[in-house]
């Protein structure tokens, strides 16, 4: 066999085997978590006091969503209204957000307060400013396009109240989408159900979390203060504070039984834009925080697998594109030279591995759907095969295009936290699907 044949097969094995092996590991570890931890740890009604909660809502040009979100938080939550408050951080909005908030304040009185920041500083900086005004012992980060289920507040509090909860720094919920208006939005049901949920379950099987969900996470205020608040220079404050808390000794938890509904990108360009920011945030945290953790690997044992896994995924993503170019050049050479045997053999070999990858993804979807809602979300299975492939392509693309700019940001010390709100869907003005927690 020629050297080029060996090279081609090595490239194929490397390109395709990583997501297959990774997918199988998620299936096994998340099943372990579900069987031994999750089933025995469902939220129960509070037995002790009802802690006071401050809900922080970041808002930068959110005129399309802010009223529906605040109305939901103020009127639909199954929690005593005198035991929580809402603070909206109006961060340099130039649309009607400020006017809408004035109307909402007149409607809800002291239950709603607004902190206005003239210049856009970003979500983390706004939250740090609002932290000093927060009356609550616990802080719920709730994006302007997110609506938690009606029982979310007391469910969150259960995890802090239960035995061993004194060292719990934050609990993050299970995200689902509000909008299903386009093919791209519909297809993301597979990701939210099969990929993100399984990843968090898998990570908790050995005790750590890569990231909280910035859209809806309950923090212990003391833990936030202990780590110095949210880091304004980070592209994604939720990943950074997750690492900070766990490194400082606070526990992190993913509660799949707490659901919240968020607006997801409706077009492929918007999806790629969102994932580029997520990727930049992940790379930023990995390069700025992992070395201090690895100096004490035993002390921070739960974070070591997360660092290794994410580091390998970045390396693989870069290798993917270099290998793909090499593979395409080799196949074009076979085509030009009319070497049909090698051409068809390599393409057939690739097809087999891609089919296996899709099958692993389908197993993930079925498993996670059963974990999350007893299989009701399997109605989205028709979108799964092509979305699984596009998901990997988008993720590897975002790594390739963001790694150099992110490294430059770190070297220059540039503030990466300033934000621009994404396009919002028309679904935001309605009620969230599954508003009844017993559904």
Dump pLDDT digits (tens) for 270-296. 888 888 888 999 999 999 999 889 988
Residue 167 has a CB neighbour count (10 Å cut-off) of 10
Reported as a pLDDT band with limits 50, 70 and 90, residue 403 is very high
Can you give the three-state secondary structure of 16-43, one letter per residue?
Answer: HHHHHHHHHHHHHHHHHHHHHHHCCCCC
Average pLDDT, the chain: 84
- Report the distance separating Cα 139 and Cα 190, nearest Å: 30
**Bridge partners (DSSP) listed for residue 55:** 86, 140
Distances (CA, A) of 350 to 63, 297, 340, 342: 48, 38, 15, 12
Q: Which of 321, 340, 296 is nearest to 392 (CA)?
A: 321
- Hey, what are 306's tokens? 């997360």
Q: Is 355:20 a contact under the CB 8 Å cutoff?
A: no
Residue 433 confidence (pLDDT): 42
Is pLDDT above 90 for 11? no
pLDDT given for residue 287 in this prediction: 93
Mutual orientation of helices 268-294 and 384-412 as an angle, nearest 10°?
A: 60
Residue 216: predicted pLDDT: 92
425 CB-contact burial (10 Å; exposed 0-12 / middle 13-18 / buried 19+): buried
Q: Is the pLDDT confidence value at 429 over 80?
A: no
Q: Give the model confidence (pLDDT) of 101-112 as tens digits.
A: 999 999 999 899
Distance CA 269, CA 149 (A): 29
The structure's pTM equals: 0.84
CB 255 within 8 A of CB 438: no
Q: What is the pLDDT of residue 438?
A: 35
At residue 262, the pLDDT reads 86
What distance in Å separates the CA atoms of residue 124 and residue 318, rounded to the nearest whole number?
A: 30
Nearest to 398 by CA among 267, 274, 231: 274
Q: How confident is the model at residue 188 (pLDDT cuts 50, 70, 90)?
A: confident
pLDDT at 147: 93
d(CA 82, CA 89): 21
Q: Give the mean pLDDT of 90-101.
A: 92
| Digit-coded pLDDT (tens) for 224-236 | 999 999 988 888 8
Q: Is the pLDDT of residue 81 over 90?
A: yes
What is the per-residue pLDDT for 236?
A: 87
């Amino acid at each position: 066999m020629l050297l080029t044949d060996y090279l081609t097969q090595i490239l194929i094995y490397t390109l395709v085997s990583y997501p297959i092996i990774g997918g199988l590991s998620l299936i096994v570890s998340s099943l372990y978590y579900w069987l031994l931890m999750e089933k025995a740890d469902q939220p129960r009604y509070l037995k002790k006091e009802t802690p006071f909660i401050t809900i922080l809502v970041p808002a930068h040009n959110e005129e399309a969503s802010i009223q529906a979100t605040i109305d939901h938080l103020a009127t639909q939550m199954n929690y005593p209204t005198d035991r929580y408050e809402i603070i909206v951080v109006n961060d340099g909005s130039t649309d009607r957000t400020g006017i809408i908030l004035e109307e909402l304040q007149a409607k809800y009185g002291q239950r709603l307060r607004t902190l206005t920041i003239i210049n856009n500083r970003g979500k983390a900086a706004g939250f740090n400013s609002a932290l000093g005004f927060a009356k609550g012992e616990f802080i719920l980060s709730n994006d302007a396009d997110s609506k938690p289920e009606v029982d979310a507040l007391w469910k969150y509090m259960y995890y802090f109240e239960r035995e061993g909860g004194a060292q719990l720094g934050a609990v993050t919920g299970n995200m689902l989408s509000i909008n299903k208006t386009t093919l791209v939005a519909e297809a993301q049901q597979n990701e939210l159900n099969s990929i993100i949920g399984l990843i968090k379950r898998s990570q908790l099987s050995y005790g750590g979390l890569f990231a909280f969900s910035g859209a809806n996470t309950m923090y212990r205020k003391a833990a936030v203060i202990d780590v110095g608040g949210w880091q304004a220079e980070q592209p994604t404050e939720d990943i950074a504070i997750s690492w900070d808390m766990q490194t400082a000794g606070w526990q992190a938890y993913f509660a799949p039984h707490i659901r919240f509904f968020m607006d997801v990108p409706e077009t492929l360009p918007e999806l790629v834009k969102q994932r580029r920011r997520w990727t930049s945030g992940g790379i930023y945290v990995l390069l700025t925080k992992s070395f201090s953790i690895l100096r004490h690997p035993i002390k921070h044992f739960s974070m070591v697998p997360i660092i290794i896994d994410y580091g390998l995924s970045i390396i693989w993503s870069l290798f993917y594109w270099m290998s793909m170019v090499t593979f395409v050049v080799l196949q074009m050479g076979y085509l030009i030279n009319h070497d049909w045997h090698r051409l068809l053999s390599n393409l057939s070999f690739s097809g087999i591995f891609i089919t296996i990858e899709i099958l692993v993804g389908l197993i993930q979807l079925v498993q996670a759907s059963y974990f999350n809602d007893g299989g009701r979300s399997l109605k989205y299975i028709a979108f799964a095969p092509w979305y699984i492939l596009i998901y990997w392509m988008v993720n590897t693309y975002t790594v390739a295009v963001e790694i150099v700019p992110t490294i430059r940001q770190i070297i220059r010390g540039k503030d990466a936290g300033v934000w621009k709100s994404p396009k919002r869907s028309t679904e935001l003005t309605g009620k969230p699907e599954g508003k009844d927690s017993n559904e």
